[in-house]
Amino acid sequence: MALIKFGGGVIQMAGSIAGNTFARNRYGNYVRARTKPTNPNTERQQTVRSALATLTARWSQTLSAAQRTAWDLYASSLVMTNRLGEAMHLSGYNHYLRSNIILLQSALAPVDDGPVVFELPDQDPTFAVTGTAGGQTLDITFDNTLAWANEVGGYMFKFQGQPQNPQRNFFGGPWRLMDHIIGADPTPPTSPDTQNVQFAIAETQRQFVYARIMRADGRLSEPFRNDCFIAA
């Protein structure tokens, strides 16, 4: 479904209508032919679909009315941004899925109680990545004095993008969840964190990586990213 913003005509569009896909990058709005993705039904896809099905049933059958109300209150207190850059509110159910799918993907326990702090976790301004082709590893640098790293139940989830040619400046996917860094177990994690790659890397390639922070109460940050050129 496309989002359309009207003014003295159509000001901006995002999404697909018929055979066209509308989007925006740093140079402005653009349109391209819509491509229908294939469904390889990979193990990773099955994991996400299973997590979605599990959480949907859990929301309706396991959570109490008070827990659902708490997620609804959290959702109504947070202003999110849609693809047009406009303010919007998700539902409590949406936030429950947003926070917990990534936990189930990582074989971690879901958080059922709605957060009582009505703000997203801060991003990490020190987040950086370097990579070596010889070791097929990425080193993730982060600030281990942040709150998530000093509480049990805090995590940083790391995602690797498919490696690109060195001249590539934009990247929107595909991404793969690599792993997570565990906070305070019982001491804060050490930076940098060395991570085996999910996509094979080669010297001079440009590697994009993003991360999200999860607080112990289930609040999940917006993604923040960094990139590097792969060393030998």
Shared domain for 133 and 87, answered yes or no, is no
Shared domain for 139 and 221, answered yes or no, is yes
Among candidates 231, 156, 147, which has minimal Cα distance to 193? 156
Shared domain for 58 and 96, answered yes or no, is yes
Shared domain for 154 and 188, answered yes or no, is yes
Domain for residue 187, yes or no? yes
**What percent of the chain lies above the pLDDT cut of 90?**
69
Token pair for 72: 């609804």
Domain for residue 185, yes or no? yes
Strands of the 128-132 sheet, one edge to the other = 128-132, 137-141, 193-196
Token pair for 80: 């999110």
pLDDT at 188 over 60: yes
| pLDDT tens digits, one per residue of 134-144 | 999 999 999 99
Shared domain for 26 and 49, answered yes or no, is no
Shared domain for 132 and 205, answered yes or no, is yes
Shared domain for 148 and 219, answered yes or no, is yes
Shared domain for 23 and 63, answered yes or no, is no
pLDDT at 34: 73
Domain for residue 92, yes or no? yes
Give the residue numbers spanning the domain of 82.
Answer: 43-105
**Residue that is written with structure tokens 């990586």 in the block:** 209
Domain for residue 181, yes or no? yes
Shared domain for 147 and 210, answered yes or no, is yes
Domain for residue 21, yes or no? yes
The answer to whether 81 and 88 have CB atoms below 8 angstroms apart is yes
* pTM of the predicted protein model: 0.82
Shared domain for 135 and 167, answered yes or no, is yes
d(CA 160, CA 201): 11
| pLDDT tens digits, one per residue of 166-185 | 999 889 889 999 999 999 98
Residue type, 94: N
Domain for residue 200, yes or no? yes
Whether omega for the bond prior to residue 186 falls within 30 degrees of 0, making it cis, is: yes
Total domain count, the chain: 3
Domain for residue 198, yes or no? yes
- For 39-58, give the secondary structure using H, E and C: CCCCHHHHHHHHHHHHHHHH
| Mean pLDDT for the stretch of residues 191-213 | 97
Token pair for 11: 């000001």
Helix (H) or strand (E) holding 180: strand 175-182
